[in-house]
Structure 1
Amino acid sequence: MPSQLSQKHPRGLYILFFAEMWERFSYYGMRAILLLFLLDNISGGMGMNAAEGTAIYGLYTASVYLLSLPGGWLADNIFGQKKAIWYGGIIIMLGHIILAVPAGGFLFFLGLVTVAMGTGLLKPNISSIVGELYPEGGARRDAAFSIFYMGINLGSFFGILIVGYLGQKVSWHMGFGAAAIGMLLGLIVFKYGSARYLVGLGEAPSQRQLKEESVPVSGTNKAIGYGLIAALVIFLIALQISGKLDMTTAQGLAQGAGIIIVAISASYFLYILIAGGLNYVEKRRVFVLIIFYLAAALFWAGYEQAGTSLQIFADRHTERTVAGWEVPSSWFQNFQPFFVLVLAPILASLWIYLSARGKNPTAPVKFAFGLTLLGLSFFVMVAASNIAITGELASPFFLTFTYFLHTVAELCVSPVGLSSYTKLAPRRYVSQLMGIWFVAASLGNLIAGLFAGGFDEKNIMQMPALFNQVAIFTTAFGLLLFVFWKPVKNWMGGIH
């Protein structure tokens, strides 16, 4: 099997596969125990309440993806993608080492900030190089991103398994230390593999390249750009003065961050459309990227409940005892990467099979499938929470089936979205727009954290209604995309 895959895909894909695998081992492993550590008041955790803990969790996971935007800019304009990945990996490893030191709140939050900064530098750029391996685009690139996605989930599976067990059963900080070791292994793979199999890809732009690819910006366009920035600053100051942004609590800080993310994203898209020097076809494609951005933000807001509301449900309202041994609640998050590992090769082959027969669904249709399936999964959780409010523990099969639907939905959205952004983005903005794709994940993660903060520990009766909200919103957006997929496809300008 590996030799057959090697004939179809360049070896550089597998270097990126394993480098990303170890980076995701560190990220998802630490993420699996983060909220539990924040809520724990018995075994050396932070002892926060659910609202405060989930807000901080949402801020952290949102920051990880939000920082992808400056990370993409630095790669496009200064480092190049390969150096950005290398420096980002080193910073991530240092962050996990800081987290492994049991030295109080300040050092812990310093570690979170460090990991977020490193991930913002690494994450968009490794995906950009995957796209560079397939300049011809098409179904082969989609299949490559599905294979790459298997690496993400393989790392996630073992990260949650190992770090989750060490964190919950041995020591929180030993779990954080294991995440640092995972990132070290990823750095070793990338350092030696990229020198041989990624030659000429992801290099720092030379002055000549920058000059050739730069777009002359008129005085009017500059004024528009500065005006957008000034309007954003004035808007944020007005919100702060009026009391709409309350930075004195974790929840208020998270809400303010959500407003800032939406404002930054809107300003960035407006700037590219107005002052980015795009032609008519490129502008239509950017409009498609905006639609995919909104769909992705909504998708991740539901999908990332795995680390927040679904983690709380697994920990407090799900039967977890097997043969007298209590399964760590963090292990339930492993259903997602496990199902991806099983289903990703099947869907990757399916896209190629359908493409060869001219029947491969377009990206808008795949997005619509994904959002609709995600919505259906939360109707399953409505049923599970109706059992929980009676005082009984829900069967683990509810979460299992929910995560199965999440996985099929994820494979219709995430690898397809990654591929679409690399194909539709104007070449001079590709890393920056990859950053915007991850900003959508940032917004979704933040919403997921704020949503879980609504889980009042003293009033579990609200759970069915909360899950029902997610189910209705995501299903409705998915159906809307089904209705309008043809106009969206036309705006893609012949790119599939």
Structure 2
Amino acid sequence: MSNINRQKIVDSVPQKGFFGHPKGLFTLFFTEFWERFSYYGMRAILVFYMYYEVSKGGLGMDQTLALSIMSIYGSLVYMSGIIGGWLADRVFGTSKAVFYGGILIMLGHIALAIPGSIAFFFVSMVLIVIGTGLLKPNVSSVVGEMYSETDNRRDAGFSIFYMGINLGGFLAPLIVGSKTIMDTSFHLGFGIAAVGMFLGLLVFVFTKKNNLGLAGTIVANPLSPAEKKKIFTYFGLAIVIIAIICFITIPKGILTFPVFITIVSILGLLIPTIYFIRMYISPKTTAVERSRVIAYIPLFIASVMFWAIQEQGSTILANYADTRTQLNFAGMTISPAWFQSLNPLFIIILAPVFAMLWVRLGKYEPSIPQKFSLGLLFSGLSFLIILLPAYLGGSNSLVNPLWLVLSYFVCVLGELCLSPVGLSATTKLAPQAFAAQTMSLWFLSNAAAQAVNAQIVKFYTPETEMMYFGVIGGASIVLSIILFMLAPKIQGFMKGIR
């Protein structure tokens, strides 16, 4: 997109109206708030819905299979962002991508809200994966379009926007995952998630004209008519081939749940590997940029390790909250889904503290690799903390919920050392010709992590609980130490980036 177009977009957006920020920030804040409310509300109860018995309103799946599917679901959501970003850049623009994505997400939640067979569950998976891939990366892009490149309000604007994400993520499990709703009907909870996305669409549709101006409407790199015909032909052929393969292999028992999970797990690791090779060997990548790509690889691996632990909050720790935790505590009954509100709650409270801490440290502020090593240290400790109750009281007794709260808290300390730093480092280390794709690569570290999780959650049982948490937590701490020792070497490859 040319600088002329960028300035034209900025000029079209009312620049005052939401806490001193562009008026469009109101639209995007509440669109993303409701989208995250719907997604995290659905996610808070989905794993329980999969493995609870049919008599309790669930699908009656095998518990291990349900945990693997939940991980694959998360992996596919992050992978789909690549397609969503490409469609926005080449076909219909970010604004339409947000709108179409919101509709698909809402339809996906509606499919889950309809009591029926497992078929509705998989229809909803497809709709929500594609819808989130369209909406999630592109709504953030529209936020950036409202500010000029020299506008010093930009970082603060993104901070306000991300507060909307965390507020939605905090409230959703408390409401959708409440004991009353879970005991009444999972489908009621999914229906509330659908209403949440509907409200987000209403906010977007009825305020975008006055608030967003041209933001999100200009296609950055549109396909020519010939390219469109070629691309859509390939897309059509791919869909037909996939449909034929599924039609043949599913009835014959070749394409089963475990096989599908394995295929996605392989893709979760293969796609980022291809990205790295492509960036490194490209003639568009300079020698300095090639060095920075090398420096980015250990950070990416560390990110995969971190998210592999953090994302188990909606799988293993959700199951732990349901089956191993004392839910009658301090005179109240706790819903197992409520624990998933802890992560966004702690982020809301602690993010300003960490931002102030890095500034206060000044020249003593840890380097990027050192911050990543701290992130791995805390994530590893969060898993070692959760194995202590079994060590102290045995694997058959119910655990005080404060252990789980402490585990989430320590993991958030790691997230604040790694996640925002990773976003910043990605923009600094990305080769100029691959700037947008490198940001997609950063999000693929989460996809890769959940692809790995889909395989390792199979090893979790009440009998292997201590070994499971101990091995994964210990591996994270060992990787943290290695990364810390290699930090000066990695810093050298960054060629001046700190």
Q: Which TM-score band (shorter chain)?
A: 0.7 to 0.9
- Go from structure 1 to structure 2 and tell me whether the alpha carbon gap of 1:139 and 1:473 turns closer, same or farther (over 3 Å shift): farther
Residues 2-401 of structure 1 mapped to structure 2, 5 A cutoff: 6-7=19-20, 12-13=24-25, 15-41=27-53, 42-130=55-143, 145-165=158-178, 167-192=181-206, 194-196=208-210, 198-199=212-213, 201-205=215-219, 248-275=255-282, 277-322=284-329, 325-354=332-361, 357-387=362-392, 389-401=394-406
- What's the offset of the Cα at 1:378? 0.9
State the superposition RMSD in angstroms: 3.1
State the one-letter code of the partner of 1:72.
G
Please list every run of 5 or more consecutive structure 2 residues that lacks an aligned counterpart in the other structure: 1-15, 225-252
Cα distance in 1, alignment partners of residues 262 and 149 from structure 2: 42
Cα distance in 1, alignment partners of residues 455 and 217 from structure 2: 39
Q: Percent of aligned positions with the same letter in both sequences?
A: 40
Q: For the Cα contact (< 8 Å) 2:269–2:451, is it kept in 1?
A: no
- What's the offset of the Cα at 1:177? 0.9
| Partner secondary structure for residue 97 of structure 2 | helix
2:468 matched residue in structure 1:
466
State the one-letter code of the partner of 2:166.
N
Which of 436, 439, 443 is residue 441 of structure 2 equivalent to? 436
- What's the offset of the Cα at 1:144? 5.3
Task: Give CA-to-partner distance per residue, 1:384-408, whole Å, 9 cap, x none.
Answer: 2324634211111110100101111
- What's the offset of the Cα at 1:424? 3.5
Q: For the Cα contact (< 8 Å) 1:101–1:173, is it kept in 2?
A: yes
Which of 439, 455, 458 is residue 460 of structure 2 equivalent to? 455
- What's the offset of the Cα at 1:191? 3.8
Please list every run of 5 or more consecutive structure 1 residues that lacks an aligned counterpart in the other structure: 212-245
Cα distance in 2, alignment partners of residues 404 and 79 from structure 1: 41
Cα distance in 1, alignment partners of residues 212 and 17 from structure 2: 20
State the one-letter code of the partner of 2:269.
V
Task: Give CA-to-partner distance per residue, 1:22-57, whole Å, 9 cap, x none.
Answer: 211111111111110001113221101211111211
- What's the offset of the Cα at 1:464? 0.4
1:482 aligns with 2:489: no
State the one-letter code of the partner of 1:83.
K
- What's the offset of the Cα at 1:450? 3.1
| Partner secondary structure for residue 347 of structure 2 | helix
State the one-letter code of the partner of 1:65.
Y
1:242 matched residue in structure 2:
none
- Go from structure 1 to structure 2 and tell me whether the alpha carbon gap of 1:187 and 1:388 turns closer, same or farther (over 3 Å shift): farther
State the one-letter code of the partner of 2:107.
L
Task: Give CA-to-partner distance per residue, 1:158-181, whole Å, 9 cap, x none.
Answer: 111111126413210111111111
- Go from structure 1 to structure 2 and tell me whether the alpha carbon gap of 1:137 and 1:46 turns closer, same or farther (over 3 Å shift): farther
State the one-letter code of the partner of 1:39.
Y
Cα distance in 2, alignment partners of residues 176 and 13 from structure 1: 28
Out of 173-182 and 290-299, give the one that drifted further.
290-299
- Go from structure 1 to structure 2 and tell me whether the alpha carbon gap of 1:318 and 1:20 turns closer, same or farther (over 3 Å shift): same
- Go from structure 1 to structure 2 and tell me whether the alpha carbon gap of 1:151 and 1:18 turns closer, same or farther (over 3 Å shift): same
Cα distance in 2, alignment partners of residues 424 and 140 from structure 1: 23
- Go from structure 1 to structure 2 and tell me whether the alpha carbon gap of 1:262 and 1:285 turns closer, same or farther (over 3 Å shift): same
- What's the offset of the Cα at 1:107? 1.5
| Partner secondary structure for residue 461 of structure 1 | coil
- What's the offset of the Cα at 1:410? 1.3
State the one-letter code of the partner of 1:63.
L
State the one-letter code of the partner of 2:198.
L
Q: For the Cα contact (< 8 Å) 1:124–1:438, is it kept in 2?
A: no
- What's the offset of the Cα at 1:325? 4.5
- Go from structure 1 to structure 2 and tell me whether the alpha carbon gap of 1:74 and 1:422 turns closer, same or farther (over 3 Å shift): farther
Cα distance in 2, alignment partners of residues 414 and 390 from structure 1: 33
Out of 314-323 and 10-19, give the one that drifted further.
10-19
Task: Give CA-to-partner distance per residue, 1:248-298, whole Å, 9 cap, x none.
Answer: 442343233211221122112212322362222333333344333222211
State the one-letter code of the partner of 2:30.
F
Q: For the Cα contact (< 8 Å) 1:146–1:415, is it kept in 2?
A: no
Q: How many residues align?
A: 455
State the one-letter code of the partner of 1:28.
Y
| Partner secondary structure for residue 484 of structure 1 | helix
